[in-house]
Amino acid sequence: MQIDLAAAPADPGVYDERKRRLVETFTKLYLRGSWRPLERLIRRLHAADAAAVLVELPVPQVVDTLQAVSDLRHAAQIVNKMPLAIRHQIVEALPHKDLAELLENFRPDDLTDLIQALPDEQRDHPLSALDAESRSELDTLLAHDPGSAGGIMTTEFFSLPEACTVQEAIEALRGYADAEMVFYLFLTGEEGRLTGVISLRQLLLAPSDAQVADVMSGRVIRVRTDTEEEQVSRLFDKYRLLALPVVDDNDVLVGIITVDDIIDVIGESTTEDMLRMAGTRQSEMLTDSVFRIAGVRLPWLFAAFLGGLGATAVIGQYEEVLAQVIILSAFVPIIIGMAGNVGVQSATVTVRGLATGAINPRDTLVMVFKELRVGLLLGAFYGVILAAYGFWVYDSLQLGQVVGLTILTNMTGAALLAVSLPMLFVRLKADPAVATGPFVTTAIDVLGVLNYFAIASLIYGL
Amino acid sequence: MQIDLAAAPADPGVYDERKRRLVETFTKLYLRGSWRPLERLIRRLHAADAAAVLVELPVPQVVDTLQAVSDLRHAAQIVNKMPLAIRHQIVEALPHKDLAELLENFRPDDLTDLIQALPDEQRDHPLSALDAESRSELDTLLAHDPGSAGGIMTTEFFSLPEACTVQEAIEALRGYADAEMVFYLFLTGEEGRLTGVISLRQLLLAPSDAQVADVMSGRVIRVRTDTEEEQVSRLFDKYRLLALPVVDDNDVLVGIITVDDIIDVIGESTTEDMLRMAGTRQSEMLTDSVFRIAGVRLPWLFAAFLGGLGATAVIGQYEEVLAQVIILSAFVPIIIGMAGNVGVQSATVTVRGLATGAINPRDTLVMVFKELRVGLLLGAFYGVILAAYGFWVYDSLQLGQVVGLTILTNMTGAALLAVSLPMLFVRLKADPAVATGPFVTTAIDVLGVLNYFAIASLIYGL
């Protein structure tokens, strides 16, 4: 039977079929109690593939199966490739001793992620399974802001004092168990201060009796533990890095961040931006309960609700105008909708530009002036069409004037507001994506309706 | 003077100050015509930093400065770190001979990106600068879909026949100029078919007289040229890869994709998703003209405009109802707004889930049923509040019933529509992000208003 998932992952059809067969085989071996063949099978699978198969099985079966895996490093990697919710269930279900052995084989940064995501009341079980050393390492990592370099770095890394030869460095690397993710060798001087870096390629090509200090590069791109993760991911992108050393205030090497962690950061931070702009907080999972999901979305909708009530109150004030020109109410949706849509466009472009570095907060005035002109252009275009429609369909010059002028001014105002708020938030060191959630659209709704009826009162002379 | 930008990039204040001084120095040396010192200075800068300094200068000065850089590989890397718009200006301004030399030092995938982004009428100048070999290589790459593995891979990579010793492999690597981005050695058998992979670390630690075939891994994760780039980036994430070989239909190795390219892909594809959901097409740049930006956004707004006119027409049909219960029009904004916001939440969660693989198209029914319940919960919550508000403020039981029922049904319907459309689009192999742009919100607006007045007619018996 062909079980090599990893060699054919690019064709989803083939992959899914093989995975389905593996799910069957896992279950068959499990029901028979054939632990040895099951363990051999798992050992031959890439951790990511083993995880993909296991998450299809019931949690008690997963826990029993994991306990049969003797390579604990592999077991830890498998668990780390599972969705957070399942990881938590496994941690809860594992007996104390097995959990202790498993957690010892977690990378420190993965362990931090796991504990960080657990509600306080569920932390005792895994924490008590840690030995004193892992526990103190974990405490150090947990002390950093999760959104900083210190919060995403791992403290398990390979470094050497700079006073060694190439041959000694290679020997040291040979004795290092978890060298899979070693791309560069970081070199340290007095008191562990970071002094240089050498790539594996340079090490491979250097004469074996050379001093490492003579072939290393002394210009090491580094970050401090408190550097923000967005800044970290920008550096990875800018300098095409595979790993980045993290130093403390005294320039002592305390951890490293590898490119695979950054791929997660980039994906997560953009996804978070999108979710915040949409007015929700975090990725929902299939396993989340309906009440939990509703609980996350409900508060954000409150901003929209209050805004809506505001608009209702505004229109209520103009009841007399409405009573005389009843058709004005028919145009409320299009007037709100057009301004809202242009606002979302401006806001998204601005928030993304700020996040990717394409827009500099310095350029606020340029951006605002540009959006002013874009808003005027778009507003003039759709304003003329709607004015013509109002005049033509309802045979009223006044109606045409009112709706046309409103579209022009509302679209321009919406574009201005939607570019200004994120820029302002960035300057206030707040998250621009939040500014563009329900808040901008709600502000646009209320101000838009107010403007509409103000213009209507003026033109109809009411 | 300290000029090492690369060693202190994490502190934006220090970085900006040093950059400012470098901008001054560049200009001083340029005005003096001191090409040698200028060239030495640039040689000591990381390409990304040299680019950051040069983009602050006028284009003619950049072109002259680049012509003074004798290390053409470095010059090409510098140009590649500049924004696309400036890259194009430089290409246009460089004399034929210098352009030819520069382009020869581009990585094939960077060259493809450059040409692909040029309007047709501007391609002649760079294309005529290429020699026959580069030209045919470029044509091969341009033939691939830009969103596929073939479109992002580079054809400049390091591979060896599997029949060699470790020592021979190291010697070959020593002779390979552009080894900077070599992480793995890919090995080929008959007719160039991909047969194995060995990491630099394995090469470093293996006995030098061993046969590469004995130490390599034969299980190579690979993609075909037509594999979609989203699938490629998922594989990088899943298997924590640094490089991924690309093969043709006959399993012949034709290119590789490196992790730094994937960082771009992840950022770009999420950004594109966001922009499409917001109803605009592409990242705007500070250099884009206002007319160009308005031109990109205008067509997307048309969907919202037509939808708005639809809602206007619907309300127009209910003019009689409105004339009798004028206050109904005051609730139009909140009724549209609440449904629209819950729709954006559902749609964003769904689109992101599909993009990150957290949601499987297979789970459509589960997702739809879940959103149905979330929508009902949220709709019931806000429906009861709005009903109470309507009853209390306007002292009308009927009004309370109408607005409460409308919020309940509209929010549920919006959540259902917003989850169903992206899932449907995925099954139809279309882009789910597009489905959730102005289209979903517009559909929600029109159907929502229709539902509102239908309920009102019924309850008021009009």
pLDDT of amino acid B376 = 94
Q: Give the C-alpha separation, B271 to A237, whole Å.
A: 15
**What structural domains does chain A harbor?**
12-143 (1.25.60.10), 159-277 (3.10.580.10), 290-460 (1.10.357.20)
Which residues contact residue A8 at a Cβ distance below 8 angstroms, ignoring those fewer than 6 apart? A14, A15, A18
pLDDT of amino acid A288 = 67
Which residues of chain A are within 8 Å of residue B48 when distances are taken between CB atoms?
238-239
Residue that has been written with the tokens 């003026």 in this structure: A458
| Average pLDDT of the residues of chain B | 85
Structure tokens at A424: 């302002």
> What is the pLDDT averaged over residues B177-191?
78
Least CB–CB distance from B341: residue in A304, A309, A385: A304
Contact A204 B173 (CB under 8 A): yes
Residue A445, chain B, CB below 8 Å: the answer is yes
Q: Give the C-alpha separation, B178 to B157, whole Å.
A: 9
Structure tokens at A120: 């306080």
Least CB–CB distance from B378: residue in A9, A181, A294: A294
Which residues of chain A are within 8 Å of residue B337 when distances are taken between CB atoms?
304, 307-308, 311, 336, 441-442, 445
Which residues of chain B are within 8 Å of residue A328 when distances are taken between CB atoms?
329
pLDDT of amino acid A301 = 82
Q: How far is B419 from chain A (nearest CA, A)?
A: 13
How many percent of chain B have pLDDT more than 70? 92
Contact yes or no for A406/A452 (Cβ under 8 A): yes
More confident residue, B333 or A279: B333
Q: Does B107 have pLDDT greater than 60? A: yes
Q: How far is B59 from chain A (nearest CA, A)?
A: 19
Structure tokens at B303: 């969907």
Which residues of chain B are within 8 Å of residue A232 when distances are taken between CB atoms?
10
CA angle A276, A278, A284 (to 5 degrees): 75
Number of A to B CB contacts under 8 A, please give it.
Answer: 351
Least CB–CB distance from A298: residue in B224, B335, B381: B381
Q: How far is CA A421 from CA A308, A407, A443, B336, in A?
A: 20, 21, 11, 23
Torsion of CA A409, A433, A348, A368, to 10 degrees: 50
Contact B308 A222 (CB under 8 A): no
Residue B231, chain A, CB below 8 Å: the answer is yes
Burial A395-412 (b: 16+ CB within 10 A, else e): ebeebbbbbbbbbbbbbb
**pLDDT interval class at B325 (50, 70, 90):** confident
Which residues contact residue A426 at a Cβ distance below 8 angstroms, ignoring those fewer than 6 apart? A354, A361, A432
Identify the residue among B183, B203, B240 best suited for mutation to test binding to A, counting A beta carbons within 10 A and taking the highest. Answer: B240
Structure tokens at A253: 């090497």
Contact yes or no for A226/A148 (Cβ under 8 A): yes
Which residues of chain A are within 8 Å of residue B308 when distances are taken between CB atoms?
333-335, 337-338
pLDDT of amino acid A132 = 86
Q: Give the C-alpha separation, A280 to B23, whole Å.
A: 43
Q: Give the C-alpha separation, B206 to B168, whole Å.
A: 12
**pLDDT interval class at B1 (50, 70, 90):** very low
**AA identity, residue A440:** V
Q: Does B187 have pLDDT greater than 90? A: yes
Residue B292, chain A, CB below 8 Å: the answer is no
Contact B201 A179 (CB under 8 A): yes
Of the candidates A327, A306, A316, A320, the one whose C-alpha atom is nearest the C-alpha of residue A443 is A306
pLDDT of amino acid A2 = 40
Least CB–CB distance from A46: residue in B239, B274, B315: B239
Residue B253's H or E segment, with its range, is: strand B253-258
Of the candidates B166, B161, B152, the one whose C-alpha atom is nearest the C-alpha of residue B209 is B166
Residue A334, chain B, CB below 8 Å: the answer is yes
Of the candidates A284, A430, A404, the one whose C-alpha atom is nearest the C-alpha of residue A439 is A430
Enumerate residue ranges in chain A where pLDDT < 70. Answer: 1-10, 12, 177-181, 277-288, 356-358, 434-438
Residue of A nearest to B12 (CA): A231
How many percent of chain B have pLDDT more than 90? 30
Which letter does DSSP use for residue B363 in this model?
A: G
Of the candidates B191, B437, B427, B143, the one whose C-alpha atom is nearest the C-alpha of residue B299 is B437
Contact A9 B274 (CB under 8 A): no
Residue B276, chain A, CB below 8 Å: the answer is no
Least CB–CB distance from B329: residue in A182, A239, A329: A329
pLDDT per residue over B208-265, tens digit each?
Answer: 889 999 988 888 889 999 998 888 988 888 888 888 999 999 999 999 998 888 887 8
Q: In what order do the strands lie in the sheet with B194-199?
A: B159-161, B184-188, B194-199
Give me the helix-helix angle, A438-460 and B332-356, nearest 10°: 150
* Interface list for A 208-227 with B (CB within 8 A): 219-224, 227
> In Å, how far from its chain's centre is CA A339?
29
